[in-house]
A and B are shown apart, each in its own frame.
Chain A
Amino acid sequence: MIGDLDFEVIGRSLPYLLRGLQYTVQLTLVAALGGTFFGTFLAMARLSSFRPVSLTAAGYVNLMRSIPLLLVIFWFYFLAPVIVQSVMGWERPPRIGAERSAYITFIMFEAAYFCEIMRAGIQSIPKGQVGAAFALGLNYWQAMKLVILPQAFRNMLPVLLTQSIVLFQDVSLVSLLNVTDFVGASVKIAQRDGRVVEMYAFVAVVYFILCYSLSTLVKQLQRRIAIIH
């Protein structure tokens, strides 16, 4: 059977595979940036001294982190349109489409994880920094934007990047919605040409090379950016 292997299939379908990889990278970047953005607001909400705000944020984060990503993807794709339909009283469920649904799901899901990272980052900044910012007359949003968050981001950058690498791998789950991401594209080729071993080996190697070199970069970065106190 091994003698039967035909790796030429990769070369033949490379443009198609690359388009899949491009979608995977795109979804990862959008979800990481969107997740960091919303996650930062969620983190500030979780740290709010106003209970209704902190409890709501905590509820959302705990819910998202307790449900498997696969389930969230299914939920959002199959059930959310139906729920929107019945709430809005529309005749037909809204058509979101698999790709857009994936973007929204991943941003919402990752926001919960990035929230916890940013919360730890904000809490790692000594309380006196907020005191000093307030004492100079800065308001809450200025203190956050100019003093606390830049330091929190910097401290947490390696963790944020590591989470993004995990996200990059998790994106492969969207192939279940029949979206042509990198894994989805290779599954289709594998089945069409009956070249399952070759395609899956190729996909694994590409993932390994990308993720391993990224995490090596993160490690170097970690050493370089430590703030001198």
Chain B
Amino acid sequence: MIEINNISKWYGSFQVLSDCTTSVKKGEVVVVCGPSGSGKSTLIKCVNALEPFQKGDITVDGISVTDPKTNLSKLRARIGMVFQNFELFPHMRITDNLTLAQIKVLGRNQEEAKTRGMKMLERVGLKEQAHKFPGQLSGGQQQRVAIARALAMDPIAMLFDEPTSALDPEMINEVLDVMVELAKEGMTMMCVTHEMGFARKVAHRVIFMDQGRIVEDDTKDEFFGKPRSERAQQFLSKILHH
């Protein structure tokens, strides 16, 4: 479904991604982890071309994101993305947040879009909040709305960029629960996260990144059993010990 082939990216002379290659199959859940500054967020943003890269190629469902002939808007509309800071549109009610892109990008009519949006909102357990503005919701609720907004577009895959790292501890689980449920339903997911409990529960594979490189790309059992690289072992021992 997602093929990442030898991509490299530079900010000026600083290389943030070096020759990264991996893939995510249909229905697979892949967790990307690593120390901060390792390039994991940059990598996931390259998948829907929010970040440009200078070398290599990425294809999603067979469509290249670098090909100038690709209709990027159309491709992005098929890939759901959830951000660290939720990024709901604060000047719109929750309903309008949910329907905006369905109407403007997918060409659905108001009623269709609203039905679909409400269904997704119900799914994340926030049906009662539909008429509110994002600022009136808690962080965890906002992130669940953001997931519902992405799902309302009927995506073929979902990207999560540290979806819980801006949340208060007591709100992390309500978001992870939604993600676990999604994974169990067979959604193709690529998640940048440090939530190793989530990885243990639903991931098929774990990618470990350091200094812009993919250092480890293992099945879950291999990764948590004994990662090959010393760097990944260090990382795991640091984040699992408390």
Contact = CB atoms under 8 A, between A and B. Distances in A.
Interface string B27-68: 000000000000000000100101000000000000000000
A147 B101 contact: no
Interface string A198-229: 00000000000000000000000000000111
B238 interface: no
Given A126-B85, A136-B149, A131 B100 contact: no
Contacts of B48: 135
B82 to A, nearest CB: 9
Contacts of B76: 134-137
B91 interface: yes
A108 B191 CA distance: 49
B83 A128 contact: yes
Interface string B60-93: 0000000000000110111111011101111100
A229 B88 CA distance: 10
B95 to A, nearest CB: 15
Interface of A is mostly: helix
B19 to A, nearest CB: 25
A227 B76 CA distance: 28
B242 interface: no
B101 A227 contact: no
B85 A137 contact: no
Contact of A128 (B78, B85, B105, B150): B85
A151 B91 contact: yes
B241 interface: no
- Residue of A135, A139, A227, A228 with most chain B CB atoms under a 10 A cut-off: A135
A124 interface: no
Contacts of B45: 131
B133 interface: yes
A146 interface: yes
A134 B50 contact: yes
Interface residues of B, number: 30
Interface residues of A, number: 21
B74 to A, nearest CB: 7
A128 B45 CA distance: 12
A142 interface: yes
A26 interface: no
A129 B90 CA distance: 10
Contacts of B89: 129, 132-133, 147, 151
Given A135-B76, A228-B90, A146 B104 contact: yes
A151 B50 CA distance: 21
B141 to A, nearest CB: 14
Nearest to A150: B91
Contacts of B186: none
Contact of B73 (A128, A132, A137, A150): A137
Given A135-B50, A137-B73, A229 B83 contact: no
- Residue of A126, A131, A142, A228 with most chain B CB atoms under a 10 A cut-off: A131
B4 interface: no
B87 A131 contact: yes
B15 interface: no
B153 interface: yes
Given A137-B153, A138-B101, A228-B135, A132 B83 contact: yes
B91 A128 contact: no
B136 interface: yes
Interface in B183-209: none
A131 B133 contact: no
A96 B83 CA distance: 54
Interface of A: 126, 128-129, 131-139, 142, 146-147, 150-151, 154, 227-229
Given A129-B89, A154-B91, A227-B90, 5 more contacts: A135-B80, A136-B100, A136-B149, A146-B100, A151-B90
Query: Which 7 pairs show the lowest CB-CB distances between chains A and B?
Result: A137-B77, A228-B135, A132-B87, A136-B101, A137-B105, A135-B81, A128-B87
